Structure 1
Amino acid sequence: MESVINTIVWAAIIQGLLLGLLYIFSKRHRSRANKLLGFFLLCFVLEALTMWLPFDYLGSYSVSQYFDLPEVKLLFPVLFLNYVLEKLGAVKNYRTFLKFHYILVFAVMLLTLPNLILFAVSGESLRDYFSWDTISNVFLANQYYAFFLTIVALVISIKEVLRYQNKIRNAYSDLDMLEIKWLWQFIFALVPITFMWGLELTRIAFGGSGMSVFVLLTWAFIIVFIYFVSFIAFHRKNLFEGVPELVMNDEEATEQKNDHSGRDFKAMSIELQHAMESKNYYLNHDLTIYDLSKEMNIPPRLLSTCINQEIGVNFNEWVNNYRVEKALDLLQDPSKIHYSIEGIGEDAGFKSRSAMYTAFKKKTGYSPGHFRKQ
């Protein structure tokens, strides 16, 4: 059984190493987000090596004690959060927070450097200059803070994904931008790892020592996580791709938030619907509320409020309903019988086949092919 476990662990370590290097050095999918994810996976690899190496010494240098190798636990939540924020285009809102913790992370990791220097010069280590309790307490303080930071990172990630989805629904017409189920899965895949880690830290706080079942379960979930990321990496193209930069920043939104006085939203909604029907703005595959704002000379915030309150849907659904109606007309047009479903979708304003099918399912309950004139 032990040999089977070791085989599974080392297979996952190698898988994480290869996938991490792919994300970091891929020329085809070069991006800051991919590099962050690559380093995140390599942290798991380094942490695994400190625990699962079958030997305790390289020559006469210990690799099994505190700070003998770089301590990377603080890097887990920082890289995780940075990656999620990068995918959502929200890094700027947490730049100071991230910068502070990167400095803290590298300060902790650099504790290995004096350890190496001391060993090279005198054959001793930090444990020979400080008491074991001191080194142990520093290590545990780092552990507990890393765990606390992981909880914070998960909460911020969930908050920002919800914020992103709300903003897309009210400002962008591209349905593909809402296809981020994989990102939710990525976030929640860390929950069981964090939970087991918390149980282990609780056990230690109450005087526990040595290897526990919580540690083994934590690594079991880490192995599953590595294979899960490997799976979605080759099945979800948007794991590699970034998201368009959100045009309207929070400051602009705040300034416009209260600019509703004297507005006749009923009249505005009639004007909006007339403009959409007469000028076919929905045929623009990348239409945003900011584009429509310029055309209508109405602030984006007011447009969004009007659509939500008077028309009763968000911007995304409103625009795609027009596209569905246009596609239905084309599907019933005998002169378009030679057009493919994808071609009709493109002519109706849909950016992709998946966006068209999603909009049809939502509005009609059927796929576009159901309405094709025979």
Structure 2
Amino acid sequence: MTVKDIFNLFLLISALHGFLFCLLILFSKNGREKSMIFINLLVLIISLNNIQSWVLAKNFFIEYFFLDYIHIPWHFLIAPLFYMFLINYLEIEKRSKNILKIILPVFLLTISIRIGFVSFFSDKNTTDVAYLFEKYTSIEEIFSLIVSLIIFGYSFQILSKKEQLFTKILSFDNLKWIYTFFKLGLFTYVFWIIALAITVALDFKEFIYSYYPLRVLTTVLIYWIGYQAIIQLRLLKERKDLRKQLNFAPILEVKEQTEEEKDADKQLLFDKIHSLVEDKKLFIEPKLSADFLANELDISSAKLSNTIKLFSGKNFNDYINEFRIELAKELLTHENYKNYTITSIGLESGFNSKSTFYYTFKKHTGLTPTEFQKSTV
């Protein structure tokens, strides 16, 4: 099997996988969410592009001039659909531009130009026509690349303004997975630029093997963000539901101290710290720090840490994590949340990642969250 055969097989399998993905999302519980609709369309576009490339590579329409030269430029829609997913996931679509309304007419115009091009040359099936077609296709692709880069950059600019535009979503999702997508996306654009540069350098006359890694990378990247979006959307919905429904009871009781063991003023300060953390549920904020809490109480962070150590016997992080662990234990054993993912429970309890939650939970209880949940059934 040659490299070309392997690549063509990849195109076919990835296209079929994409169509199956779209069907599963379409009939899933969250399939009607706007953000998921755009992710689904994004996967569909890549799947259509791959099946089109496979059909053309297999020369199924070599005898039909019109069909062999009508290549739909699906790549025009990739960046706009990702942008639409982004603004809907971040819940800022009402304050953002609908770029798709601008790009769709351009996309349809390029298809019309292609049809006109093919119609004009349909009775002149010569080598020169093939050369002209490849040249036009590359010029069209360069235009698409420029437009895509502009939208990609604009999308990243929106994400960089997170503290001003969408503070609400940040309390549920740190968006690291989207930042990862941007990093990988930039890498993909480099491959695209290289492939186009080689095409131009070879005067549009030879098949460019550099498009192989580009198409593979693009496909994997789009499918990856599709699956990530499914996972993150579920976590987001569960965490919102948890925060909305839970009416927290006190998580930890203040340890009583005898007069010999404590100073009255220090005990009063500790009670104040404990009450602030408990009543305002500050512990569910992953970025809670000693400096922030000390500032709220108008004391130094050193005094805060020393007071916590004196009365709880723990350092600041262990003290806060104890609140988080107690809440997580409550949620893990609560009948209303037995179908929720352990990850969403951990994140909503104040941990910044699944791995941190599992490590800290086992450190405090001797069991993983999964083992703890099973032990209480």
| TM-score past 0.5 threshold | yes
1:213 aligns with 2:209: yes
Percent identity reads 12
Distance 1:29 1:100 in 2: 25
RMSD (Å), alpha carbons = 5.0
Match of 1:280 in 2: 279
* Per-residue deviation, 1:371: 4.8
Q: How many residues align?
A: 297
**Paired residues of 1:40 and 1:76 also in contact (CA < 8 A):** yes
Q: Structure 2 matches for 1:1-374, cutoff 5 A?
A: 1-2=1-2, 3-53=5-55, 54-57=58-61, 60=64, 62-65=66-69, 68-95=70-97, 97-111=99-113, 125-128=119-122, 132=129, 138-164=136-162, 171-172=167-168, 175-178=171-174, 180-206=175-201, 207-225=203-221, 228-229=224-225, 232=228, 236-238=231-233, 277=276, 280-282=279-281, 328=322, 341-343=328-330, 352-356=345-349, 358=351, 367-368=360-361, 370-371=363-364
Distance 1:324 1:356 in 2: 14
Distance 1:240 1:363 in 2: 16
Moved more, 194-203 or 151-160: 151-160
Distance 2:119 2:158 in 1: 43
Q: 1:44 to 1:362 in 2, by over 3 A?
A: closer
* Per-residue deviation, 1:62: 3.5
**Paired residues of 2:199 and 2:206 also in contact (CA < 8 A):** no
* Per-residue deviation, 1:109: 3.1
Distance 1:330 1:190 in 2: 36
Q: 1:311 to 1:103 in 2, by over 3 A?
A: farther
**Paired residues of 1:51 and 1:64 also in contact (CA < 8 A):** no
Normalised TM-score (structure 1): 0.60
**Paired residues of 1:22 and 1:38 also in contact (CA < 8 A):** no
Letter in 2 for 1:19: F
Match of 1:29, SS?
coil
**Which has the higher Rg, Structure 1 or Structure 2?**
2
Match of 2:9, SS?
helix
Distance 2:122 2:108 in 1: 23
Cα deviation 1:259-304 (Å, max 9, x = unaligned): xxxxxxxxxxxxxx99x83992337989xxxxxxxxxxxxxxxxx9
Letter in 1 for 2:360: S
**Paired residues of 2:328 and 2:345 also in contact (CA < 8 A):** no
Letter in 1 for 2:176: K
Q: 1:362 to 1:13 in 2, by over 3 A?
A: closer
Cα deviation 1:178-232 (Å, max 9, x = unaligned): 2x33222333333333221111211233324321221112123134335534654
* Per-residue deviation, 1:368: 4.9
Match of 1:247 in 2: none
Alignment gaps of 5+ in structure 2: 241-271, 286-291, 302-315, 335-343, 367-377
Normalised TM-score (structure 2): 0.60
* Per-residue deviation, 1:15: 0.9
* Per-residue deviation, 1:25: 4.7
Q: 1:240 to 1:7 in 2, by over 3 A?
A: farther
- Higher relative contact order at CA 8 Å, sep ≥6: structure 1 or structure 2? 1
Letter in 2 for 1:209: K
Cα deviation 1:18-77 (Å, max 9, x = unaligned): 213333454543112212112212222222233221124287454332xx1432221112
Distance 1:174 1:78 in 2: 23
Distance 1:81 1:16 in 2: 20
Distance 1:136 1:7 in 2: 24
